[in-house]
Structure 1
Amino acid sequence: MRKVVVAGVGMVPFGKYLDRNLKSLSKEAIDKALLDTGITKNSIEAGYVGNSVAGVITGQDTIRGQVILNSYGLGGIPVFNVENACASGSTAFHLGWLGVSSGMYDCVLILGVEKMTHPDRSQTFKAFRGGVDVEAMAEEISNEDTSKSVFMDIYADFARNFMDKSGLTKSHLAKAAVKNHYNGSLNPYAQYQQPRTFDEIMNDRLVSEPLTRMMCAPVSDGAAACILCSEEFLKKHSNKSPIYVEATVTKSTAVKGDDRQGVVAFAGQAAYEYAGIGPEEIDLFEVHDTTIAAELMAYNSLNICSLDEIGHWIDHDYTTINGKKPVNASGGLITKGHPLGATGVGQIVELVWQLRGEAGKRQLIKQPKTALAQNAGGILGTENAACAITILKR
């Protein structure tokens, strides 16, 4: 397998864009990625497009990637449509890496894009329903509160169970959320850019106990793009410093119900083994905090710290931007936003900026050398249905 590098990245600030479509969002992200790389679109040999809910929200199904990339002027190339719940974008990244590392292509485009806002908010929440086993959860779906996502009660249940096992309190959730809201205030690509206090987060509107609104990722639109190529191609066509893909792993749950051995844990272990490193050698993590509780669960699953250490780590600011092990320097999903198909690629874009020293006000004082993104989605049993892990190195 050949070495694969991220040659360029681009991203649209995540937010609510009722007046923009998938093509518009995608064009901005791809333009930025190509400009960052210094190559033309004629160098792109294949496109991998991650999207989750366009069929429900916009009615565009079946050929989403072809429609988007043809409008951009990338007709004729192979286009692969990738749908894998919230992990759609990072799964597209994994498949694009495989295309280049195998020697099939020298240069490919990875695009994650999502339109989630809709004039009828219930239509947005309807889109989430497909991320569960609709037969197994038919009763829950039929009784669903149409004012919120079906996932929020599930996530809240996960949070309560995890708190019982770990000894964490709602205060720990709020403290971690304060960290992410501060980080988001430094990120011009974040949907929410205002720091929040502990009291504001604790006293915000309750979504589902113990989760308040500021502990949960918002509904978002957005797009992010990466150009992946072989090391040899980059040397010939661009003067950009390479960011190497050390590992990319995509796994699905075995529905075992043990979160320590669940999909995030064994995907992380597989990624560490592939890269030949351990969590202690990762300088920066971007993890999938659909709710802030999911971030704290990832500390355990990814072996950032042990289960009984999580509260201590939060209380002592170990995961702040300049703590001993920074997590979600971008602000995470709860402030950056969560446009499903774009989320995983957006995490990778953030890590590339940090590894290059281009992250602006949120740049780590000690520029990281190795970084990990964890992107999960869907629900089966008592955990995520899918998880993708990416490890990058400068």
Structure 2
Amino acid sequence: MTEFASADDRSLVDLLLTAAERALSDAERDASAVDSVHVGNMAAEAFNERSGLANALTGSLGLTGVTARRIENTSASGASAVQSAFEAVAGGHSACALAVGGEKMSSADTATATEIISRITHDREYEQGVTLPSFGGLAAAAYLDATDADRRDLAQVSVKNHANAFENDYAQFRKQIDVDDVLDSPAVAAPLRLYDCCPTSDGAAAVLFTAEPAADAVTVAACESATGTHAVADRTDPLEIESVRLAGEYAYDTAGFGPEAIDVACIHDAFSILEWLEMEELGLAPAGEAWRLTREGQTTLNGTLPVNPGGGLKARGHPLGATGVSQIVELVWQLRGDLPDERAVGEAEHGLAVNVAGFGNNAVCTLLEVDA
């Protein structure tokens, strides 16, 4: 990964190149070993007046004669690039595939960035001025009304993810906060406040997939995706995220193990409420009960099911095209035991990542494992 930041002086292509070179170095492979390149990015044209990212990256790596493409799936562009690279190797079309995701959002001012991100909703929602934070606020209010969770429980999601990011050298927000900080932060979409929401970010991440990995490599047990109802208003239950549930079911079926095997999870917490909703859709918590895991401390770094050990989107940051790849990087570090004690979840064999497009319009679920 690159370090995620509110603003990075490097160009988008330079960020992608830095992440790619770090992945190759980690894998002890030369760029010449790569035969396919898969770049995840949502909006380089809008943010950076830039296109042709896959070609620019392969040129910077000195590669010719390889397959190269860009993948766009709004805020799940990173995981979709991961899926593309994984399928290329799993299907025998590539022996060494490089997935790189990145976004440079600081090139646009706040109003422009808000407009770009708002465009990923349904046209009817956009025309009515309903934004992603609006959906987050409505979902949070409905969840708190339907369960015994209280507002301080929801704030603990952000507190926990900031605590994890505090120890993460790659995180955008290395700042400890408490529940009162969350509740006293500016209102965004009631009951959500500023500290319930992820930031805009610059950054990139990369993962190398090979048909014959090294002995200590992490194995992809499954990488599956699914779409959901595009217009949120057309969903029968506003607290259900069908795409996440289906992607998880497909992944569990492919992998041959279920949620009970997961030791660590990276969840797409663009808003604090999504950590709970997605955990429940993935079977990591019973319906309406994810808040209890937070209240009891089970999702902390040393808990029974650590969630977002790197800080999540909330505190690690959310460069749109990079997030899904950075989740895989975090899980690889955790499963390989590469991290210092203050960052590590301890012994773990199975990891889960879910990267979500829009407000559940599409989702990609990846399951990783290491030999016991």
- Give TM-score scaled by structure 2 length: 0.94
> Which of the numbers 40, 47, 65 marks the counterpart of 2:37?
47
> Which of the numbers 162, 187, 191 marks the counterpart of 2:168?
187
- Residue type at the aligned position of 2:336: R
For 2:151 and 2:241, the matched residues in 1 are separated by 25
Question: Per-residue displacement from partner, 1:94-127 (whole Å, max 9, x unpaired)?
Answer: 1111111111111011000111112522221121
Change over 3 Å in CA distance of 1:167–1:227 after alignment to 2: same
Are 2:236 and 1:248 aligned? no
For 1:155 and 1:309, the matched residues in 2 are separated by 18
Mapped contact 1:22–1:68 kept (Cα < 8 A): no
How many correspondences in the alignment?
365
Are 2:279 and 1:270 aligned? no
Cα offset, 1:364, TM superposition: 3.3
For 1:385 and 1:287, the matched residues in 2 are separated by 16
> Which of the numbers 130, 139, 144 marks the counterpart of 2:127?
139
Mapped contact 2:224–2:251 kept (Cα < 8 A): yes
Question: Per-residue displacement from partner, 1:75-110 (whole Å, max 9, x unpaired)?
Answer: 431111100011111111111111111111110110
Cα offset, 1:201, TM superposition: 1.3
For 1:138 and 1:108, the matched residues in 2 are separated by 37
For 1:303 and 1:166, the matched residues in 2 are separated by 17
> Which of the numbers 353, 360, 363 marks the counterpart of 2:340?
360
- Residue type at the aligned position of 2:76: A
What RMSD, in angstroms, separates the aligned Cα atoms of the two structures?
A: 1.6
Are 2:25 and 1:35 aligned? yes
> Which of the numbers 357, 364, 369 marks the counterpart of 1:388?
364
Change over 3 Å in CA distance of 1:126–1:79 after alignment to 2: same
Question: Per-residue displacement from partner, 1:345-385 (whole Å, max 9, x unpaired)?
Answer: 00000000000111224443532111000110114xxxx11
Mapped contact 1:357–1:363 kept (Cα < 8 A): no
For 2:210 and 2:298, the matched residues in 1 are separated by 35
Are 2:115 and 1:126 aligned? yes
Mapped contact 1:218–1:337 kept (Cα < 8 A): yes
- Runs of 4+ in structure 1 off by over 6 angstroms are none
Tell me what 1:21 maps to: 11
Tell me what 1:70 maps to: 59
Are 2:31 and 1:56 aligned? no
Unaligned runs of 5+ in 2: none
Taking the TM superposition and a 5 Å limit, the aligned residue runs for 1:88-99 are 88-99=77-88
Tell me what 2:159 maps to: 178
Cα offset, 1:152, TM superposition: 1.2
Mapped contact 1:319–1:327 kept (Cα < 8 A): yes
- Give TM-score scaled by structure 1 length: 0.89
For 2:236 and 2:37, the matched residues in 1 are separated by 36
Tell me what 1:294 maps to: 274
Cα offset, 1:260, TM superposition: 4.0
For 1:214 and 1:301, the matched residues in 2 are separated by 24
Taking the TM superposition and a 5 Å limit, the aligned residue runs for 1:220-231 are 220-231=201-212
